[in-house]
Structure 1
């Protein structure tokens, strides 16, 4: 498995799709990087020479925020929103969706598993 920027990318896939395994590189950036380095997107990752791999990793580290650096930046941005007390920060604190989605019947991903609340007891049951 070739190692690009500290990430093992799969051998058997085309390099265009192998680069997607790096956090912070999507299809658009993958295409751009391969054009700049001059590598055909259809070539397999194990067919690349050491020289091509070093060019690729050098370009990626110079131009883009990836992996740990990107993850840290995202966490810092969210913490900044929480500190200044804006609406999005408040929603992050509460674990609710931040982008205007409905919450009455959806958003199980953000809210977690259902927490059933016991209903009121009827008057007949109390007697």
Structure 2
């Protein structure tokens, strides 16, 4: 099992797919990394030599912000918005959608499970 940027990447998958298990690396960056290290796209993680794994690790450390550093920066950005008291910060603070989505219906991912309103009974 190869360990890159503090993440154990799966050994049976192709390297392009396995790199995407690292937070901050998607399909685009995974392809870029493969080109920089000049590894064929069909190669699987268990076929990589120690030298290739080392090269991938160096490229990621040098050129990309991943895992802990990226998570820290994102959380600091959100905290900054909340401290400013701007509209986006208030939406983050209230746990509501930030980017203009509708909240009358939907928005359950941000708002959480629906809570029943106490005292509301059927009229018979």
Larger radius of gyration: 1
Query: Helix, strand or coil: the match of 1:56?
Result: helix
Aligned ranges for residues 81-120 of structure 1 at < 5 Å?
81-119=81-119
Give the SS at the match of 1:3: strand
Aligned partners of 1:92 and 1:52: how far apart in 2? Answer: 42
**TM-score for both structures, normalised by structure 1:** 0.92
1:25 aligned partner: 25
Q: Distance in 2 between matches of 1:41 and 1:110?
A: 37
Question: Any gaps of 5 or more consecutive residues in structure 2?
Answer: none
Cα 1:42/1:64, change in 2 over 3 Å: same
Taking the aligned partners of 2:14 and 2:44, their CA distance within structure 1 comes to 4
CA RMSD of aligned residues (A): 1.7
Query: Which 4+ runs in 1 deviate beyond 6 A?
Result: none
Structure 1: 5+ residue runs without aligned partners? none
Q: Measure, in 1, the Cα distance between the counterparts of 2:107 and 2:34.
A: 38
Task: Please report the TM-score for the alignment, with normalisation by the length of structure 2.
Answer: 0.95
Query: How many residues are aligned here?
Result: 124
